[in-house]
Amino acid sequence: MDCDEGQMDFLAAKLGISKVLSAILLQRGFEKITDAERFIAPKISNLNDPFLLKNMDHAIALLDRYVQRKSSVSIIGDYDVDGITSTALLVDILRRFGIWPQYFVPRRFSEGYGMSKEIVRRMLKKSRPGLVIALDCGTNSVDEIRFLVNKGIDVLVIDHHTLTVNQAPPGIIINPHLSEHSVSLKSMCAVGLVFKFVHAFLKHRRKQGDERAFAIRLKSYFDIVALGTIADMMPVLHENRIIVKYGLQSFAKERRPGLDALCAVANIPSGQAITQADVSFKLAPRINVSGRLFDALLPVELLLADDISGAMVKAQKIDRMNRERQRIEQAVVLEAKKMVQEHYRDDPGIVLFNPDWHSGVVGIVAGKLAKEYGRPAIVLSLERGVAKGSGRSSSVNLFDVLAECSAYLEDWGGHKMAVGVALKPGDIDIFRNTFNRVILQLCSEIRTGDEEIEIAYVLDRDDIDEFFVNELEDYLHPYGQQNEEPIFCLKNIRFTDTTEFFGIDRKHVRFWIERKDRPWLSGIGWDMASHFPERNRDVDILVCIAFDFWNNERFLLLRLVDWRYSL
């Protein structure tokens, strides 16, 4: 995208930033100085009043009654990272106020996901709570919530999923998608909304002079909220950006025992700030794995652990589960890619079904396919005679697509970039055809071949130094949904004989770029050995530029995204 030179110079001068950074901000729609300032320097003080959420006052009044009376509370949270972090956050806060709630997470293979009849029955067998709080689920659980309300049980739902039934269930519901709310609130996942709920409750209790509320540092929970926000693929904008930025920074300061142990098994050193990629590829999969393959209570207990030795035992158990998950996932990914290449390579969307695939990894596989092929992907396996699975997308609004295909679905739900579906195996073909037709209607440009890549700026190789990369890290991090890592173009580059191929099957490339009177630039092309350019021939390359760490030392590294021979 071309930017007006005058605008670039004006923004750079007003904010005291480089022309390159001002160009990136303009590309991303930050034309006003105030909007750009809030983006590059997010402040905790910019968090909005939590009582702006509809029903928040009623929800706080309800919880306040139970805290004052020390009455019984049960929590039902979903089994993904968003649900797990939501549950851990609220359990921890309630314990600080003398309430020790029982908490339940669905057993995936016997209870399905969310607030199902099965998990409600299990909860009632164990106790008869006065209040049930559903986290990251409940918006579409009309029958289950009506059942509880008819038994005289109060119900509070804190959820971010879109309504897919005719009307919302009874009880108090905090869900910004059920009424008019700001974009900031609608972009929050469940743990972000639970954070707002906790914020509101602390404000209320402080007004009452409750010393326990004054003793709680709200920002000490940013780490948990950041995990759920990143893992649930929420936009890293508005309030999410504040939470994620400070949450990731907290990992370099004071880690809670559970996350310290989880970082240890994921080989993330103590005292090191972590990135969005660390959460997406190292921490979130480990938190997810227990719910996908076994029982999601374990990661909740890990996040609630108060000593490092007990936390390490749990983290090591989760890590062993994760290695088993990787083995299963790799086999399914290989089969899924083969299926796409042989049968569906030209489809605008991908819908795959294999009754033998492990249902615990279909969401991960869908995410990998969506990223690799640049198309929405739904991957299904067989559970108790029903084809169930997950969908992922990086651009197309899956919720809108499925709304047009709902006639063929037994059950479905989710949000723009991640959904869950269930349908009869005999309806898969007609669902696939409808899914693809709707995508074509909604989207004029779906990639089935080469993808157009937006270039942030054309750089000279001598422009790249520590000052430049520090500016990117200080002002653009954290990256994530709707704030992707910028991609830069370097022209007329030559890869010399110093290029190395490494890794299993030598499929990765390590390269160096020569510069006059300056240190050479080093870079890596992951999985690019099979389509790497000829040596000693001019090429234009697209790269991401960041600091990398090795043996506790920081150095500049280019990551090769794409290339073409220079014209």
Question: How many angstroms separate the CA atoms of 296 and 89, rounded?
Answer: 15
Q: What is the mean pLDDT of residues 366-376?
A: 90
Tell me if 193 sits within 8 A of 160, measured CB to CB: yes
Q: In the structure encoding, which two tokens stand for residue 98, read together?
A: 């003398």
Tell me if 362 sits within 8 A of 339, measured CB to CB: no
Tell me if 138 sits within 8 A of 113, measured CB to CB: no
Q: In the structure encoding, which two tokens stand for residue 248, read together?
A: 């990731």
Question: How many angstroms separate the CA atoms of 155 and 63, rounded?
Answer: 10
Q: Is residue 321 helix, strand or coil?
A: helix
Q: How does residue 359 score in pLDDT terms, banded at 50, 70 and 90? A: confident
Tell me if 235 sits within 8 A of 187, measured CB to CB: yes
What pLDDT shows up at residue 447? 44
Query: What confidence tens digit (pLDDT) does each residue in 62-91 have?
Result: 999 999 999 999 999 998 999 999 999 999
Q: In the structure encoding, which two tokens stand for residue 223, read together?
A: 């780490």
Across the chain, mean pLDDT equals 90
**Any idea how long the chain is?**
567
Question: How many angstroms separate the CA atoms of 105 and 300, rounded?
Answer: 9
Question: How many angstroms separate the CA atoms of 340 and 319, rounded?
Answer: 31
R_g of the chain, CA atoms, integer Å: 24
Locate all alpha helices (DSSP H) within 216-266, ordered by sequence.
222-231, 238-250, 257-265
What pLDDT shows up at residue 444? 53
What pLDDT shows up at residue 2? 65
How buried is 461 (Cβ within 10 angstroms: 0-12 exposed, 13-18 middle, 19+ buried)?
middle
Tell me if 376 sits within 8 A of 390, measured CB to CB: no
Instruction: Tell whether the model's pLDDT for residue 206 goes beyond 60.
Output: yes
How buried is 431 (Cβ within 10 angstroms: 0-12 exposed, 13-18 middle, 19+ buried)?
buried
* H helix or E strand, kind and range, residue 88: helix 81-96
Question: How many angstroms separate the CA atoms of 453 and 286, rounded?
Answer: 31
Query: What confidence tens digit (pLDDT) does each residue in 447-482 have?
Result: 444 557 889 999 999 889 999 999 999 999 999 888
Find all residues with CB under 8 Å of 373, minimum gap 6, and list them: 340, 350, 447
Question: How many angstroms separate the CA atoms of 389 and 420, rounded?
Answer: 6
Sign of CA dihedral 46, 52, 53, 55: positive
Q: In the structure encoding, which two tokens stand for residue 207, read together?
A: 């007004």
What pLDDT shows up at residue 445? 44
Q: What is the mean pLDDT of residues 18-42?
A: 93
What one-letter code names the amino acid at 152? G
